[in-house]
Structure 1
Amino acid sequence: MSEKFYLTPVEHELMEILWALGQGTVREVIACLPSDRHLAYTSVSTILRILQQKKILTVKKSGRHHVYIPILSKETFATHSLKKIVNLAFSGNSASLVAHLVEKHPLSLDELKVIRQLLEEKQKEFGS
């Protein structure tokens, strides 16, 4: 996996906020942190600048503020992260990943229904 797609836990936390907002200033990101999560303004600012240096975010100036905008989409991040997990934890076997999810994680009936529907749709794509 490219280093571009690697995020530390705190980078990921801030990216989740920016993906939800679409873009934001340091203060807007801090405002979206859980009330029990205390990150200093300077810490958030530094992390966002690091993400900018990694080319995960871009920045535009708006008056006196910097507005951070995701370049890396959540979908792209998820796709590359999942590929890494499948390769590392399941020897590249996606079926093993699905089996692990079904066997080791509690799934609701609604989740099982959605998974079944997705599999049926995928099967139709193959003409089976």
Structure 2
Amino acid sequence: MKEIPKISEAEFEVMKVIWKNEPISTPEVVEIVSKKVDWKPNTIQTMLSRLVKKKALKTRKHGRVFVYTSLIEEHEYVGQKSELFLKQFFGGALNSMVLNFIENDQLSKEDISELRKILSERDRKEGEK
């Protein structure tokens, strides 16, 4: 598995904007993030710099602004974080996590129905192989 840098929750907010809009300039990132979170432009620029240093982003100068693109894909990052969460809290067992949600009434009837639908679709695809 590819080495993915550690990204703070705040940096993750910036990454989500970049993943959705890349390539994207500093002013554009600042504008979008500022609408979601009450951060000053300097704070957002600091996070961009940190993400470049962590090799989560690459930057190039375009005229008078910097333009950012990601070096890691969102699905890679989310996959790694999900796996770490499962290992930390449920010993890596997805069924234990789902059972925990069911036993604590944290899944609605709609959630359970959606899970059944996903599993049925997965079974159908597996049967076609």
Compared CA separation, residues 126 and 95, structure 1 to 2 (3 A): farther
Say if 2:59 and 2:68, in contact at 8 Å, map to a contact too. Answer: yes
Which residue in 1 is equivalent to 2:112? 112
Looking at structure 1, the residues matched to 34 and 99 of structure 2 have their Cα atoms a distance apart, in angstroms, of 33
Which residue in 1 is equivalent to 2:70? 70
The alpha carbon displacement at 1:43 in A equals 1.8
When normalised by structure 2's length, the TM-score is 0.81
Pairing of 1:91-102 with structure 2 (within 5 A): 91-102=91-102
The alpha carbon displacement at 1:7 in A equals 1.4
Say if 1:26 and 1:41, in contact at 8 Å, map to a contact too. Answer: no
In the alignment, structure 2 segments of 5+ residues that lack a partner are none
Over 6 Å off, 4+ runs: none
Say if 1:5 and 1:81, in contact at 8 Å, map to a contact too. Answer: no
Percent identical = 22
Pairing of 1:115-126 with structure 2 (within 5 A): 115-124=115-124, 125=126
Looking at structure 2, the residues matched to 96 and 126 of structure 1 have their Cα atoms a distance apart, in angstroms, of 25
Which residue in 1 is equivalent to 2:89? 89
The alpha carbon displacement at 1:41 in A equals 2.1
RMSD: 2.5
When normalised by structure 1's length, the TM-score is 0.82
Compared CA separation, residues 113 and 50, structure 1 to 2 (3 A): same
